[in-house]
Amino acid sequence: MIKSAKIYPPPPQSATGSDSCNYCIALIRPKYENSGMAPALSLGYLSGYLKANGHNVLIIDALRDNLSNDDVLAILKRENIVLSGITCLSNYANEVAALSKHLKSSEIKVVIGGVHPTFMPYQTLTASGADYVVCGEGEIALLKLLENNFSNILLDGSLIKGVYSLNELKDEDAPAIRADVVENLDDIPYPDWEQLQPTHSAYVPLWWTTKNAPVAGIMSSRGCPYSCKFCSSANFYGRRVRMRSPENVLGEMRLLKEHYGIREIRFADDNITVDRDYIDSLCEAIIDSDLNLSLFTQARADRLDDKLVKTMKRAGFYNFAIGIESASPTMLKNMDKREDIDAIKTAIKILHDNGILITGFFIFGMPGETKQTIKETMDFMMNEPLDLVSVTILTVLPGSEYWDELKGQYTNIFSQAYFSEVNYVPDGLTTEEIVYAEKQALRKFYLRPKIIFKLMKYIKFRYISHFLTRMRYVHFFDK
What is the DSSP secondary structure assignment for residue 186, as one 8-state letter? G
> How do residues 209-222 score in pLDDT, each as one tens digit?
788 889 999 999 99
**Hey, which of 8-12, 199-203, 312-316 has the most confident mean pLDDT?**
312-316
> CA dihedral defined by 44, 49, 50, 51, rounded to 10 degrees?
90
Task: Flag whether pLDDT at 18 surpasses 60.
Answer: no
- Asked if omega into 214 is within 30° of 0 (cis), the reply is yes
Whole-angstrom distance, CA of residue 85 vs CA of residue 14:
18
Q: What is the mean predicted confidence (pLDDT) over 142-148?
A: 96
Task: Flag whether pLDDT at 430 surpasses 60.
Answer: yes
Least confident of 21-30, 84-93, 439-448: 21-30
Per the rule left: phi > 0, alpha: psi between -120 and 50, beta: everything else, 239 is left
Whole-angstrom distance, CA of residue 394 vs CA of residue 325:
10
DSSP per residue, 260-280: H---EEEE--S-TTSSHHHHH
Q: What is the mean predicted confidence (pLDDT) over 298-305?
A: 95
Task: Flag whether pLDDT at 474 surpasses 70.
Answer: no
What phi, psi does 331 have (nearest 5°)? -65, -40
> How do residues 154-207 score in pLDDT, each as one tens digit?
999 999 999 999 999 999 989 999 999 999 999 999 999 999 999 998 887 766
Q: What's residue 236's pLDDT? A: 94
- Say which residue, 12 or 268, is predicted with more confidence: 268
Task: Flag whether pLDDT at 365 surpasses 80.
Answer: yes
Task: Find out whether 296 and 317 touch, Cβ atoms under 8 Å.
Answer: yes
Q: What's residue 419's pLDDT? A: 62
Q: What's residue 2's pLDDT? A: 39
Whole-angstrom distance, CA of residue 143 vs CA of residue 238:
21
* Position 115 confidence tier, pLDDT thresholds 50, 70, 90: very high
Q: What's residue 1's pLDDT? A: 37
Task: Flag whether pLDDT at 319 surpasses 50.
Answer: yes
Element (H, E) at 466: helix 464-473
Strand partners, 453: none
Tell me what the pLDDT averaged over the chain comes to.
90
Whole-angstrom distance, CA of residue 432 vs CA of residue 120:
30
Q: What's residue 16's pLDDT? A: 31
Task: Flag whether pLDDT at 88 surpasses 90.
Answer: yes
Separation in Å, CA 459 to CA 22, 209, 453, 455, 472: 42, 5, 10, 5, 17
* Position 455 confidence tier, pLDDT thresholds 50, 70, 90: confident
> How do residues 38-53 score in pLDDT, each as one tens digit?
899 999 999 999 999 9
3-class state of residue 249 by DSSP: helix
> How do residues 69-81 score in pLDDT, each as one tens digit?
999 999 999 999 9
Task: Flag whether pLDDT at 469 surpasses 90.
Answer: no
